[in-house]
Chain A
Amino acid sequence: MTRMAPQPGERIDRRRPLRFSFDGESVEGLEGDTIASALFAGGRRVFSRSFKYHRPRGLLCCSGACANCLVAVDGRPGVRACTEPARSGMTVEHLNAWPSLERDAMRAVDKFGGPFTPPGFYYKTMIRPRRLWPVFEWGLRRIAGLGSLTRKDEREWRTSYRRRHADVLVIGGGLAGLCAAVAAAQLGADVVLVDDGAQAGGRLLHEGSHDRARELAGAVRGAGVEVLTGAAALGYYDGLVAVRQGSVLHQIRARAHVAATGTIDQPLVFPGNDLPGVMTSDGARRLAALYAVRPGSQAVVATTGDRGLQAALALHEAGVRIVLVADERDAAGTPLALALAERDIPLIMAAAIAGATGDDAVEQVTVSDIAGIAGERTVQCDLLVVSGGSLPATSLLAQAGTTMAFEPGSGQFLPGETPAHVQAAGELAGVGGDDAIELSGTLAGARAARAAGAAAGTAVDGRIAEQQAELDALRPRAATPAVAPAPCPGGGPQGKAFVCLCEDVTDKDIAYSVAEGYDSIELSKRYTTVTMGPCQGRMCQLAAIRALARQTGVAAPAVGQTTARPPWTPVPMGVLAGRPFTPAKRSPIHPRHRALGANVMWAGDWRRPYDYGDPAREVRAVHDAAGIIDLSSLGKLLVQGPQAGELLDRLYPNRLSNLKPGRLRYGVLGSDAGRIMDDGTVFRLDEQSFYVTTTSSGAGAVEEWFTWWLADWRLDAHVTDLTQTLAAVNLAGPRARAILEPLTDIDCSAQAFGYLDGRQGHVAGIPALVLRIGFVGELGYEIHVPAAHGLALWDVLVDAGTPDAIQPFGMESQRVLRLEKGHVIVGQDTDGESNPYSAAMSWIVKLDKDEDFVGRWALELAAEREHPETLVGFRMSGGVVPHEGAAVVVDGAPAGRVTSARHSERLGTAIGLAWVPAALSHAGARIVIVDEGTQLSADVVRGAFYDPDNERQRD
């Protein structure tokens, strides 16, 4: 019976049983159990199979550090059973074993595959024959990996971000962290404390100090600290610490940080060190103290420090028979040794584990004398508790810019100097003994509050200095230091001695990698994958460094550590992704497009109607009666001031300052190098005001461009972005005037309101700016109104146009219509190299302007030169519509490209625009287009295909 009598500080609630399934079998547990503790209490000892060799693995750390208990929960793989709370009804399954956890066929790799699977074998095998790659891939995908994601049609998991600013962030809720949080909060700091455990308290909880933990947790809350438990800090990103708490990613930005992440109990390296039944001292104590589960009945404890001795005593109290304690030190701390002796627990010094054996679980261990004098002894046991020292959990500190220094006595890398806003506290900082740890935490908290600006004054500084002095005095009295584990003892049982349990990397593998030349920690890591498994080096980095040091003869400090990178703990991609935010701009008229069933597409960051189901019908309507298109996405700028005209003359190659009020002009905006950036219209509202339109996707860039140059030239003008202030529609077609006239107080007669005129007035009572311009080649009015009236404008025009069968038209039909007119779309028909001359818009450029203008020097050069390519229209000979991007070919070689192409029902043929060599740019020239291997011919057309004299537009 592994469930013990009630333990003080246990987490389980014995009044609330629960039941879940593991591999289809029902498992009983108690509220508060983890999956692992419930399974262990029910007798399970094998929890997983190792990554490569498929060796059985049991509970090791019981704290989520190792990968021995990874399972799938309700279809979600990669869950650590030792930290995941058990819930009624959950479905838990093993990973990485077939057909079962008990009988895994892939164990054959361990038995027979060793010679064929040395480190890096995948760089040397499965290369030839190449035709078998798909087979190799098929096999590897089934063999490799830990678990699989089931492809469920419906799998939704709501995750979110939470941003939190704070004065001080304390990472780690053990003794040091709790004291740091209280100290900082008491000095007035806004403090957040995060701990990855189910409750704050750290080792206090399983080392019999749960009352102290509770007291401190109460003090922390009483001081106003926000405490996040079950919250794992993932990484340090330039002052931002990402913390995962379930489905929430907290992004915590603090002015100062206290790292109190403690240390990680380390396993030992010896043959058979991966057998189920081998547990770290902390792991065994957690099982016993928190879940009242006896980790074994007969145990051997192997240790390099006091932690192991403390574990032996605690387990003895829990009813585990400790048959032997082997301590690698020459001498142990006297009180602990005496305590063991009082309990008749045998303790031998200068002894280490030479090996463990058993059929799928520990059955006996061999202990040898380190000095090799006393020989070996073999002991029967079902539990081997190992304490190979501790690894300070320095990853976050390292990411924050702290360098580590090697402490030879304990063989640890401890934090050196930390950045000004970062403090290290407690065991992480190499402090031992509860008194010293508390003081270390208090000191760190005070320093952090100070650095955050929350506390100031000489009184605070004085107190900090006093506390530092107290801590310095305490330190020499810290617990007897642990020693670095002795090298893997020779002799004893043969078998694999694992340095990295996650990746199944043995000490021989490290030697192998060194022999092959991968002799630095970073190279060996990448070659053998040591420290690259789910534990991310928590259980193996120190062992890997020591193994490499032995193999290379380089001292451990010089071997160094691998680079610490986030995430420190595994995090689901969904948590990192958070809620999917895809900002979209929509016209105020968008509800009508939806109601009409428009096919909506992205146009830059706008959602715009592509068509309303039948683009051909839309085109016909515009040509024959009336169409209406929502142009609200157009960029719109108001340029005002005494020097507004000069600003525009300097920005555009056009001359614009001579526009009369009430007139508008097409403008092409050029870059410093004379390239076409954007296009649109410029309308003069009055002497000092211009209304500029741009392309929808270029609006932001054009506004920046205007603003930037304005700041540089310091002209007396202002630019106001009106893009979202105004809605706009284009009413186009022969019936456009007839539809508009009754609705407006503007005289729409051709005489009063001519082509390229603009008028201000009202349309159906709505204040409006109406521009006679068109992109689509028919009589048209662009009507700009306050966005708050946009929907009403659309409704009234559609209503008024119903007798004329007015048709909403979208971007696709607009593209056909503009193409019939030979109108260019900047960014589609032009690119970053196009200038107005090569794009057949030389009439735009006014080199006779007095003012310098952006790109003038380049355009002056361009004016004098021949252009290798010119943008021309073309009409297909055979009526086939080539793909946009198809090549124009001369003598079999690409010499240009098609930029736009559509079938024109009105013209009865396919037309388009293309860049062609200058020699072929004259009207009537025959060009060859190769489209997906098919050769097509077309004839060059200069000017508009449809209504080349613009009679319909100017009506």
Chain B
Amino acid sequence: MTEHAFLSPHRAEAHAGRTPVACSPLEHDLVRAGAHLEVRDGWRVAARFGAVADELHGARCTVAVSDRSWLGAIEVQAPTPQLAELVGAALQLGRARRDADGDWWCPLTPRRLLVVTPPSRVASLHTRLAEAAGALEHASVVDVTAGMAAILVAGPRARDLLATLSALDLRAASAPVGALRPGSVARVPAIVLHEREARFLVLFGAAQAEYLWTVITDAGEPLQAVLAGSDAIEALDA
């Protein structure tokens, strides 16, 4: 199976002494909001907006909104039995599976899967999946990292924020951790992944990043939402 390098941000090479750095479709909005950017794993990310402690406090007490558009995304298509073989486990629609490496395996349809992974792992995962797909008939593996944007909504009021934008049922009983809910968020097709308790990763098309960021941060205003950089989210994870 041919890997089409022109799709993958991580396939940038040095030119005139500099290697192009991938940037989030939200970079302009992040900078305007006061983000401090750093290069991590080939991406320019918003590390923080001010004091990490304040961002952490917001994430723990109200709701934090964070850009995660640098996450890698690989789309796999194959007939259902082959998809299960590729993944190594049966997949259940509506539930994402987190593997030991922390990658999320998200079945979108019985024949289409999206793997969400940190940028440092995109290349190796893509290669591994492409090799496995090559051994199977009828499978395709495509790096769609640059086409997916992602916004994390985290905190006790995360559901309240999303309730103003989406009719998805994200109650704990209906959408426990690992629940995967494709649906409309602010009239945009999106996938909401409940990745940790009261932490929702909203995945959607990169072209609508500015729009969705605007409506999400606007919806967060009455809830005293804070913007959180990667440092705060990593601290939360820890």
Which residues of A line the B interface, CB within 8 A? 160-165, 190, 251, 253, 579, 581-588, 590-591, 606, 632-633, 638, 640-641, 685-686, 688-689, 716, 718, 720-726, 743, 760, 762, 764-769, 784-789, 791-792
| A720 and B6 contact, CB distance less than 8 A | no
Given A767-B11, A788-B146: A588 and B25 interface contact (C-beta under 8 Å): yes
CB-CB under 8 A from B147, the residues of chain A are: 721-726, 787
* Closest residue on chain A to residue B160 by CB atoms: A162
- Segment of B60-68, B100-108, B207-215, B230-238 engaged in the interface with chain A: B207-215
A-B contact pairs, 5 of them (CB 8 A): A163-B166, A586-B208, A591-B28, A760-B4, A788-B23
Among B15, B160, B215, the one with the most A-chain Cβ atoms within 10 Å of its Cβ is B15
User: Do residues A726 and B4 form an inter-chain contact, with CB atoms below 8 A?
Assistant: no
- The answer to whether B39 has its CB under 8 Å from any CB of chain A is no
**Known interface pairs A587-B207, A789-B9; 4 further A-B residue pairs with C-beta atoms within 8 A, sorted by A's residue number:** A726-B6, A764-B16, A785-B6, A789-B20
Q: How far is the CB of A576 from chain B (nearest CB, A)?
A: 15
From A633, A724, A789, residue with most partner B Cβ within 10 Å: A724
Residue contact B146 to A190, C-beta cutoff 8 Å: no
Query: B171 touching A789 by the CB < 8 A rule?
Result: no
Please give, as numbers and ranges, the residues of chain B lying within 8 Å of A762 by CB-CB distance: 12-13, 15
| Total A-B pairs, Cβ < 8 A | 165
Minimum CB distance partner of A161 in chain B: B164
Interface string of B145-183 (1 = CB under 8 A from A): 111000000000000100110111101011000000000
Check B5 against A792 for contact (C-beta < 8 Å). Answer: no
Asked whether, in the complex, the Cβ of A579 is within 8 Å of the Cβ of B18, the reply is no
B125 within 8 A of partner (CB): no
A162, A638, A786, A792: the one within 8 Å of B146 (CB) = A786
Whether B164 contacts A787 by the Cβ 8 Å rule is no
Contacts of B18 in A (CB 8 A): 765
Q: Is the CB of A581 within 8 A of B186?
A: yes
A585 in complex: contacting residue of B4, B12, B140, B208, CB < 8 Å: B208
Task: Compute how far the CA of A590 lies from the CA of B28 in the bound complex, rounded to whole angstroms.
Answer: 10
- Asked whether B117 is an interface residue with its Cβ less than 8 Å from the other chain, the reply is no
Does B211 lie within 8 Å of A725, measured CB to CB?
Answer: no
C-alpha gap A190/B170 in the complex (Å): 13
With contacts A165-B169, A786-B145 taken as known, whether A765 is within 8 angstroms of B13 at the C-beta atoms is yes
Query: Contact between B142 and A786 (Cβ–Cβ < 8 Å)?
Result: no
Q: Whole-angstrom distance from the CB of A948 to the nearest CB of chain B?
A: 33
Q: Report the Cα distance A161→B19, complex, angstroms.
A: 45
Cα-based distance from A556 to B149 in the complex (angstroms): 62
B144 interface contact, C-beta 8 A: yes
Task: Pick the residue among A161, A579, A606, A764 that contacts B207 (CB under 8 A).
Answer: A606
Give A161 to B165 CA distance when docked, in angstroms: 7
Chain B, Cβ-Cβ closest to A785: B6
Asked if B171 contacts A190 (CB within 8 A), the reply is yes
Q: How long is the Cα–Cα vector from A768 to B218 in the complex, in angstroms? A: 36
Contacts of B187 in A (CB 8 A): 581, 583
CA distance A581 to B165 in the complex (A): 9
Q: Among B160, B167, B206, B219, which residue has its beta carbon within 8 angstroms of that of A588?
A: B206
**Which residue of chain B is the closest to A585 with respect to CB atoms?**
B207
Asked whether, in the complex, the Cβ of B186 is within 8 Å of the Cβ of A583, the reply is: yes
- Give the shortest distance, in Å, between B12 (CB) and chain A (any CB): 5
Q: Which residue on chain B has the smallest CB distance to residue A759?
A: B6
A253 in complex: contacting residue of B25, B167, B215, CB < 8 Å: B167
Contact of B12 among A190, A689, A789 (CB under 8 A): A789
Partner of B206, one of A638, A724, A767, A785: A724
- In the docked arrangement, what's the CA distance between A270 and B8, Å? 81
Which residues of B from 1 to 52 have beta carbons under 8 Å from A? 2, 4-9, 11-16, 18-25, 27-28, 43
Kindly state whether residue B75 has any CB partner on chain A within 8 Å. Answer: yes
Query: A-facing mask of B213-232, CB < 8 A → 1, else 0?
Result: 00100110010000000000
Q: A586 touches which one: B20, B142, B168, B210 (CB < 8 A)?
A: B210
| Given A724-B147, A767-B11, A787 and B206 contact (CB-CB distance below 8 Å) | yes
A579 touches B13 (CB 8 A): no
- Closest B residue to A727 by CB, please name it: B146
Contact A724 B205, CB 8 Å, known A160-B219, A584-B211, A588-B25: yes
Nearest CB in chain B: distance from A264 CB, A: 32
* A765, B20: Cβ atoms closer than 8 Å: yes
Chain B: interface size category: 35 or more
Contacts A583-B188, A722-B147 known; A685 to B215 CB distance under 8 Å?
A: no
B211 contacts A792, CB within 8 Å? no
Residues of B within 8 A of A724 (CB): 147, 205-207
CB proximity to A under 8 Å, residues B110-156: 137-138, 140, 142, 144-147
Q: Which of A638, A641, A760, A767 has the most CB of B within 10 A?
A: A767
> Once bound together, how far apart are the Cα atoms of A521 and B142, in whole Å?
64
Taking CB atoms, residues of chain A closer than 8 Å to B186 are: 581, 583
Q: Are A788 and B7 in contact (CB under 8 A)?
A: no
B114 to chain A, nearest CB (A): 11
Question: Given that A591-B28, A725-B7 are contacting pairs, would A786 and B164 also be in contact in the complex, using a CB cutoff of 8 Å?
Answer: no
Task: Provide the bound-state CA to CA distance between A186 and B231, in Å.
Answer: 43
CA distance A724 to B218 in the complex (A): 24
- The residue on A at minimum CB distance from B170 is A165
Which residues of the other chain, A, contact B210 by a CB distance below 8 angstroms?
Answer: 584, 586, 590
Chain A: minimal CB distance from B137 (Å): 7
In the bound complex, what is the Cα–Cα distance between A788 and B4 (angstroms)? 16
Q: A579, A585, A590: which contacts B218 (Cβ < 8 A)?
A: A579
Q: How far is the CB of A54 from chain B (nearest CB, A)?
A: 42
Give A38 to B182 CA distance when docked, in angstroms: 52
Q: Which residue of B lies closest to A744 (CB)?
A: B15
In the complex, the answer to whether B208 meets A787 with C-beta atoms within 8 Å is no
Q: How far is the CB of B116 from chain A (nearest CB, A)?
A: 15
Nearest CB to that of A248 among chain B residues?
B164
Nearest first, the 8 closest Cβ-Cβ pairs linking A and B are A725-B147, A765-B15, A788-B22, A585-B207, A786-B146, A718-B140, A165-B169, A767-B11
CA distance A789 to B6 in the complex (A): 11
Q: Which A residue's beta carbon lies closest to that of B172?
A: A190
User: Is B164 touching A162 in the complex (CB atoms < 8 A)?
Assistant: yes
**Identity of the chain B residue whose Cβ is nearest the Cβ of A792 in the assembled complex:** B20
| Residues of B close to A253: CB separation below 8 A | 167, 169
A394 CB to nearest B CB, Å: 27
Would A583 and B171 be within 8 Å (CB), given that A765-B15, A788-B9 are in contact? no
Instruction: Choose among A632, A718, A792 the residue with the greatest number of B CB atoms under 10 Å from its CB.
Output: A718
Residue of B nearest to A251 (CB): B167
In this complex, which of B12, B14, B27, B210 has the most chain A Cβ atoms within 10 angstroms of its Cβ? B12
Contact B144 A720 (CB under 8 A): yes
Indicate if the CB atoms of B6 and A784 lie closer than 8 Å: yes
Which of chain A's residues have a CB closer than 8 A to the CB of B6? 726, 760, 767-769, 784-786
Which chain A positions have C-beta within 8 A of B140?
640-641, 718, 720
Whether A716 and B137, one on each chain, are in contact in the complex, defined by CB atoms closer than 8 angstroms, is: yes
Q: Bound state CA distance, A785 and B11, in angstroms?
A: 11
How close is A18's CB to chain B, nearest CB, in angstroms?
26
How far is B11's CA from A726's CA once the two chains are assembled, in angstroms?
14
Q: Report the minimal beta-carbon distance from B29 to chain A, rounded to whole angstroms.
A: 9
How far is A564 from B208 in the complex, measured between Cα atoms in Å? 41
| B211-A583 in contact (CB<8A) | yes
Chain B residues with CB below 8 A from A723, complex form: 147, 205, 207
Q: How far is the CB of A839 from chain B (nearest CB, A)?
A: 30
Closest to B21 in A: A792
A590 (CB) vs chain B CBs: closest residue: B210
Query: Does A722 lie within 8 Å of B144, measured CB to CB?
Result: yes
Task: Indicate which residue in B9, B164, B174 contacts A579 across the interface (CB closer than 8 Å).
Answer: B164
Q: How long is the Cα–Cα vector from A893 to B186 in the complex, in angstroms? A: 49
- A786, B7: Cβ atoms under 8 Å? yes
| Complex alpha-carbon distance, A215 and B209, angstroms | 49
Instruction: Assess the A765–B218 pair: CB atoms within 8 A.
Output: no
What residues of chain B lie closer than 8 Å to A725, measured between beta carbons? Answer: 7, 144-147, 206
Do residues A586 and B9 form an inter-chain contact, with CB atoms below 8 A? Answer: no
Contact B12–A766 (Cβ < 8 Å)? yes
Q: A764 — which chain B residues lie within 8 A by C-beta?
A: 15-16, 20
Which of A579, A718, A723, A786 is the most central at the interface, judged by chain B CB atoms within 10 Å of its CB?
A: A786
